[in-house]
Structure 1
Amino acid sequence: MGYSIDVYDHNFEEEVLEKSYEIPVIVDFYAVWCGPCQMLKPILEKVAQEYDCIVAKLNIDENQSIAQAFRVEGVPDVKIIRNGEIIDGFVGVLPEPQLRELLVKCNIKSQLDEKLDAIRQELLAGNRSKVAELFASLLTQYPEHRRVLIEAAKFYISEDKLEKAEELLSPIQMDEREFFAEAQAVKALIQFKAECVNPSGNGELESKFSRACCLTLDGEHESALQLFLEIVETDRQFKSDGARKAMLSIFELLGNNHPVTKEYRKRLMMVLY
């Protein structure tokens, strides 16, 4: 895990240039009066918590010598320094997903991503008690991190700890565009769990809907989507359009670029229109 630090003209060489030979340094040239700077600030603070790097914040109004030396003309101006040299950067507010792509390009590693990958490996190996231990540690270390909350909620749903999952997802609000839709999709898994365990009826469509919910929980997304699609074709209004909504939730869980999403989104459009 990296850290965030305020730097000044007098310690810039020591805290930024010298440290950059040990670990990448992201320098945030900002101004107190700058609105976009305040928007970027929490994103960079998150980076400092997650990545093997230093986030060095420099107020250009109080440290004009360094700002001039780096030819800063507008803020926020972010420069990534490694081995004493600028290797990349940007001016303005870069959306978090694009910032993460830039960090990958600069070979700056996320400790959180590495820990989540380790959890996935333990899940594949069937070491669920170890996974529970790792998630407990992550939730202590990153108690408000949305990715951690969402991934932990998925795990607790698979462990039948539905109240715990709902509790983890509750802080994620509608204005958090990057995470809200996925959080809602994970909440749908809680409903799928209920339908899988206790189907709401005995008819053919109820049985098919319940089976599709169970398949979703087992990670058999393509088979689940096929069943949900058949329900949409048979009775669009079944469970208040529940099959179509279930498909949209699975699309969100898989991501828009997943080949199964692309295929079944196309099939759903053909059925609907």
Structure 2
Amino acid sequence: RMGYSIDVNQSNFEQEVIQVSYKSLVLVDFYATWCGPCQILKPILEKLVTEYDFIVAKIDIDQNPELASQYGVEGVPDVRIVRQGEIHPGFVGALTEAQIRQTLSQLNLKSNFEQSLEALKNAIAQKDFPTGKQLLDQLFSQYPDRPEVVLEAANFLILLNQTENAEKLLNTIREDQRDFFAKAQALKQLIQFKKDVTFSGESQLEQNYAKACQLTLTEDYPEALSLFLEIVSTNRKFKEDGARKAMLTIFNLLGDDHPLTKEYRKKLMLQLY
């Protein structure tokens, strides 16, 4: 479902804000036509209602002084959040698009894009490839420029063993797209792991390394990290410091805030110093 934006005044406030808030989240945007930050905020909110299921109720304080005074509006823009008939503070001043998205996610709202991406990740995790392909095609046609889609597509291709196509996709993510670039490099490393698994050597170290690569590919990260750490402690120079680099790859895949990243970063530091 999509949201919408509506002009609200004293006469329709009860119906369009309070009553509607029992079905949908409502953001009440108190604004003034002479206010610069209000003009900055307006197009951002109007863009976001096309992605999320919430309502923007716009109230011009000069036309509706009684509403402004009833809700204690002192500066504009002043955005309030209305849920289940209750009016809560939101934010005052113009926030950036990213900050408003953050606020919406704290309110447990997901955009259509986030919902589709989540469905895609679930399909890939359950190895439901026909659904995954369908969702990917849909995402690519709707959001051709979102790096998140490129990363998921590459991940999908790696699972299907189409590693060359995956690499081509990953090469389109630029270094200035910082968060996504690290993920892209990590996925390229996964492709390397796939090759390393195929050519496991004779020695115990080589076999352990291949096994740890295999565990990474099946997303058994605790076992993989434990094994890579063992290799680091046994022979730091093995595969040109390959085990340490492999651990860094897993950290990039999981993200800095993941408990495993935090735990094994510490263990790796202790091992190295």
Q: Same fold (TM over 0.5)?
A: yes
1:269 corresponds to: 269
User: Whole-Å Cα distance in 2 between the matches of residues 37 and 167 of structure 1?
Assistant: 38
Q: Is the 8 A contact 1:87 1:106 kept in 2?
A: no
1:33 to 1:184, Cα distance in 2 relative to 1, 3 A:
farther
The answer to whether the 8 Å contact 1:9/1:66 transfers is: no
User: Could you tell me how far 1:137 is from its partner in structure 2?
Assistant: 1.8
1:54-93 aligned at under 5 Å gives the runs 54=55, 65=63, 69=68, 71=73, 73=75, 78-82=79-83, 86-91=87-92, 92-93=94-95
Are 1:25 and 1:53, in contact at CA under 8 Å, matched by a contact in 2? Answer: yes
Equivalent pairs counted in the alignment come to 264
Question: 1:9, 1:65 within 8 Å by CA — same for their partners in 2?
Answer: no
Secondary structure of 1:135's aligned partner: helix
Q: Structure 1 residues 66 and 176 mapped into 2: Cα distance closer, same or farther (>3 Å)?
A: farther
Segment drifting more, 117-126 vs 258-267? 117-126
> How many angstroms apart in 1 are the aligned matches of 2:164 and 2:35?
42
Gaps of 5+ in 2: none
**1:144 matched residue in structure 2:** 145
The Cα of 1:216 is off from its aligned counterpart by 0.6
**C-alpha distance in structure 2 between counterparts of 1:49 and 1:183, whole Å:** 29
RMSD of the alignment, in Å? 4.2
Deviations 1:62-106 (A, max 9, x none): x8647993736356x54444577643422453684x655532443
Give the CA deviation at 1:226. 1.8
Change over 3 Å in CA distance of 1:113–1:9 after alignment to 2 = closer
Residues 233-273 of structure 1, C-alpha deviations (whole Å, 9 max, x = no match):
23333344332122112122223343322332221111011
Counterparts in 2 of 1:204 and 1:103: CA distance versus 1, 3 Å:
same
- Look up the match of 1:222: 222
Cα distance, 1:158 vs. partner?
0.9
How many angstroms apart in 2 are the aligned matches of 1:57 and 1:180?
Answer: 39
SS at 1:179's partner residue? Answer: helix
The change in CA–CA distance for 1:19 and 1:118 in structure 2 (over 3 A counts) is: same
Q: Give yes or no for the alignment of 1:182 onto 2:183.
A: yes
Report if aligned partners of 1:172, 1:183 keep a CA contact under 8 Å in 2: yes
Residue number in structure 2 paired with 1:252: 252
For residues 117 and 184 of structure 2, the distance between their equivalents in structure 1, rounded to whole angstroms, comes to 17
Which residue pairs with 1:207 in the alignment? Answer: 207
Task: Please report the TM-score for the alignment, with normalisation by the length of structure 2.
Answer: 0.71
